Amino acid sequence: MTDRPKIDRVQAALHMEPWTVAFAQVALGIAVRSITSAMGLLERVHDGLPVPPDLAERQEGRKPCDQATDILATIERVLKDHLRPAVDALQRSAAITSSSPRRPARR
Protein backbone atom coordinates (compact mmCIF):
# COMPACT_ATOMS: atom_id res chain seq x y z
CA MET A 1 0.00 0.00 0.00
CA THR A 2 1.76 3.14 -1.17
CA ASP A 3 -1.04 5.64 -0.66
CA ARG A 4 -1.45 6.33 3.02
CA PRO A 5 -4.70 7.80 4.29
CA LYS A 6 -4.61 11.57 4.79
CA ILE A 7 -4.92 11.27 8.58
CA ASP A 8 -1.69 9.24 8.71
CA ARG A 9 0.16 12.09 6.99
CA VAL A 10 -1.29 14.56 9.48
CA GLN A 11 -0.35 12.35 12.42
CA ALA A 12 3.17 11.92 11.07
CA ALA A 13 3.49 15.65 10.55
CA LEU A 14 2.47 16.29 14.17
CA HIS A 15 5.88 14.93 15.16
CA MET A 16 7.83 17.37 13.01
CA GLU A 17 10.02 19.96 14.66
CA PRO A 18 10.11 22.87 14.55
CA TRP A 19 6.49 23.55 13.74
CA THR A 20 5.66 26.25 11.26
CA VAL A 21 3.02 28.84 12.03
CA ALA A 22 1.02 27.70 9.01
CA PHE A 23 1.03 24.09 10.12
CA ALA A 24 0.13 25.07 13.69
CA GLN A 25 -2.86 26.98 12.32
CA VAL A 26 -3.95 23.90 10.37
CA ALA A 27 -3.66 21.83 13.57
CA LEU A 28 -5.79 24.41 15.41
CA GLY A 29 -8.43 24.04 12.71
CA ILE A 30 -8.39 20.28 13.18
CA ALA A 31 -8.75 20.76 16.94
CA VAL A 32 -11.70 23.12 16.38
CA ARG A 33 -13.46 20.50 14.26
CA SER A 34 -12.83 17.82 16.90
CA ILE A 35 -14.10 20.00 19.74
CA THR A 36 -17.11 21.06 17.67
CA SER A 37 -17.92 17.41 17.06
CA ALA A 38 -17.73 16.71 20.81
CA MET A 39 -19.98 19.71 21.43
CA GLY A 40 -22.53 18.27 19.01
CA LEU A 41 -22.52 14.97 20.88
CA LEU A 42 -22.99 16.73 24.22
CA GLU A 43 -25.83 18.83 22.79
CA ARG A 44 -27.55 15.67 21.49
CA VAL A 45 -27.21 14.03 24.92
CA HIS A 46 -28.56 17.18 26.58
CA ASP A 47 -31.49 17.46 24.17
CA GLY A 48 -32.30 13.75 24.36
CA LEU A 49 -32.19 13.31 28.12
CA PRO A 50 -35.63 13.56 29.73
CA VAL A 51 -35.87 16.66 31.90
CA PRO A 52 -37.03 15.86 35.43
CA PRO A 53 -40.46 17.41 36.10
CA ASP A 54 -39.07 18.98 39.27
CA LEU A 55 -35.89 20.34 37.65
CA ALA A 56 -36.29 23.87 39.03
CA GLU A 57 -36.69 22.60 42.59
CA ARG A 58 -33.59 20.44 42.23
CA GLN A 59 -31.56 23.28 40.68
CA GLU A 60 -32.58 25.62 43.51
CA GLY A 61 -31.61 23.06 46.16
CA ARG A 62 -35.12 22.47 47.50
CA LYS A 63 -34.78 18.82 46.45
CA PRO A 64 -31.63 16.71 46.18
CA CYS A 65 -29.95 16.66 42.81
CA ASP A 66 -30.58 13.50 40.79
CA GLN A 67 -28.47 12.01 38.00
CA ALA A 68 -30.37 13.66 35.15
CA THR A 69 -30.20 17.10 36.76
CA ASP A 70 -26.48 16.71 37.38
CA ILE A 71 -25.80 15.55 33.80
CA LEU A 72 -27.85 18.38 32.28
CA ALA A 73 -26.14 21.00 34.45
CA THR A 74 -22.68 19.58 33.76
CA ILE A 75 -23.19 19.61 29.99
CA GLU A 76 -24.54 23.17 30.08
CA ARG A 77 -21.60 24.35 32.20
CA VAL A 78 -18.92 22.58 30.13
CA LEU A 79 -20.34 23.93 26.86
CA LYS A 80 -20.72 27.50 28.14
CA ASP A 81 -17.62 27.85 30.30
CA HIS A 82 -15.07 25.70 28.49
CA LEU A 83 -15.80 24.37 25.02
CA ARG A 84 -17.41 27.40 23.32
CA PRO A 85 -14.70 29.78 24.61
CA ALA A 86 -12.02 27.28 23.55
CA VAL A 87 -13.43 27.06 20.02
CA ASP A 88 -13.62 30.85 19.77
CA ALA A 89 -10.00 31.27 20.94
CA LEU A 90 -8.67 28.52 18.67
CA GLN A 91 -10.54 29.86 15.64
CA ARG A 92 -9.16 33.34 16.33
CA SER A 93 -5.59 32.05 16.48
CA ALA A 94 -6.06 29.82 13.44
CA ALA A 95 -7.20 32.82 11.39
CA ILE A 96 -4.68 35.43 12.52
CA THR A 97 -2.23 36.67 9.92
CA SER A 98 0.99 38.63 10.15
CA SER A 99 -0.88 41.66 8.82
CA SER A 100 -3.50 41.44 11.56
CA PRO A 101 -1.46 41.55 14.77
CA ARG A 102 -3.37 41.22 18.01
CA ARG A 103 -2.60 40.93 21.65
CA PRO A 104 -1.67 37.42 22.74
CA ALA A 105 -4.51 35.34 24.16
CA ARG A 106 -4.89 35.64 27.91
CA ARG A 107 -3.73 32.67 29.98
pLDDT of residue 7: 60
Other beta carbons within 10 angstroms of residue 73's beta carbon come to 15
pLDDT of residue 35: 98
d(CA 40, CA 82): 14
Question: Which residues of the chain are modeled with pLDDT < 50?
Answer: 1
SS3 51: coil
For the chain, give every domain's residue range. Answer: 6-95
pLDDT of residue 13: 65
d(CA 63, CA 58): 5
pLDDT of residue 44: 98
pLDDT of residue 19: 82
Helices marked H in 14-104 — which ranges?
A: 21-48, 55-59, 67-78, 84-95
Using alpha carbons only, give the angle 59, 83, 67 rounded to the nearest 5 degrees.
30
pTM equals 0.74
